[in-house]
């Protein structure tokens, strides 16, 4: 059962290419479905799970996060005396649930998975291709401006937030560099490559690796 994991900075085409690969392979494309399943298993709402994907990138940010959540003083590491849905979602429980969902999906069917640390959870997994998409910042900005009809300033802010959060996610949970090519089988620069062409290259590479 072939599996493709794909991720990349905002505007590099990871989402569009991932969907294209899924269509060519006639398999499911999985993205936010993982969030929903993790939330169910942890008995949390999806916003709590999404928040774990965009961790604060500094100690001050994490302190602010704790204050925003209104964690009572003396609640304890495990959140004693709090209902399940109010216990702060710690990294260990989140990562265990996320890994469980990703691995179960990979065992049960062929699919394309967008992000969620899947390249780490499925490292060395049979018939799996790990893909990173990249593109120069100016190209990514231009694409998003055209797609979203937004100003350059707004798009640049969104890209910076997304890229920073993704970088911190990989660093925090996997102690790795997000854009380090060593974690991928294939790195595609989409500056002069259409998303359709990139999808075709991935399918071909998957057939060779498998």
**Of the candidates 198, 167, 153, the residue with the CA atom closest to the CA atom of residue 56:** 167
Q: Are 56 and 64 in contact (CB under 8 A)?
A: yes
Residue 101 Cα distances to 38, 47, 167, 170, 197, angstroms: 7, 17, 22, 18, 30
Give the mean pLDDT of 181-207.
94
CB atoms within 10 A of CB 57: 15
157 band by pLDDT with thresholds 50, 70 and 90: very high
Provide the 3-class DSSP secondary structure of residue 5: strand
Q: What pLDDT is stored for residue 56 in this prediction?
A: 52
Highest mean pLDDT among 19-33, 46-60, 151-165: 151-165
N- to C-terminal Cα separation, the chain:
9
Predicted local distance difference test score (pLDDT) of residue 21: 94
The domain covering 3-209 belongs, at the CATH homologous superfamily level, to: P-loop containing nucleotide triphosphate hydrolases (3.40.50.300)
Quote the pLDDT of residue 172: 84
For the ranges 20-29, 73-82, 133-142, the one whose mean pLDDT is highest: 133-142
Identify the band that residue 168 occupies on the pLDDT scale cut at 50, 70 and 90.
confident
Say what the pLDDT of residue 55 is: 55
- Could you give the CA distance from residue 52 to residue 169 in angstroms, rounded to a whole number? 8
Compute the Cα dihedral for 149, 153, 157, 159 and give only its sign. Answer: positive
Average pLDDT rounded to a whole number, residues 125-154: 93
Residue 181 burial by Cβ neighbours in a 10 Å radius (0-12, 13-18, 19+)? exposed
Could you give the dihedral angle defined by the CA atoms of residues 23, 99, 36 and 133, in that order, rounded to the nearest 10 degrees?
-40
Supply the mean pLDDT for the chain: 79
- In terms of Cα–Cα distance, which of 208, 207, 202, 209 is closest to 23? 202
**Is the pLDDT score of 130 beyond 50?**
yes
């Amino acid at each position: 059962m072939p599996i493709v994991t794909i991720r990349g900075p905002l505007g590099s085409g990871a989402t569009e290419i991932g969907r294209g690969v899924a269509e060519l392979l006639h398999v499911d494309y999985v993205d936010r479905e993982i969030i929903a399943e993790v939330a169910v298993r942890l008995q949390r709402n999806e916003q709590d799970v999404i928040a774990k994907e965009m961790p604060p990138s500094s100690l001050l940010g994490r302190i602010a996060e704790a204050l925003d959540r209104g964690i009572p003083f003396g609640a304890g590491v495990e959140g004693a005396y709090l209902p399940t849905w109010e216990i702060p979602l710690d990294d260990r429980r989140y990562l265990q649930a996320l890994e469980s969902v990703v691995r179960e999906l990979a065992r049960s069917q062929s699919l394309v998975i967008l992000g969620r640390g899947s390249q780490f959870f499925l490292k060395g997994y049979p018939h799996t291709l790990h893909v990173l998409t990249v593109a120069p910042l100016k190209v990514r900005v231009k694409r998003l401006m055209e797609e979203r009809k937004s100003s350059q300033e707004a798009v640049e802010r969104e890209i910076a937030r997304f890229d920073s959060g993704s970088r911190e996610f990989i660093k925090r949970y996997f102690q790795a560099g997000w854009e380090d090519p060593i974690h991928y089988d294939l790195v595609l620069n989409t500056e002069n490559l259409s998303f359709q062409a990139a999808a075709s290259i991935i399918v071909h590479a998957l057939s060779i690796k498998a």
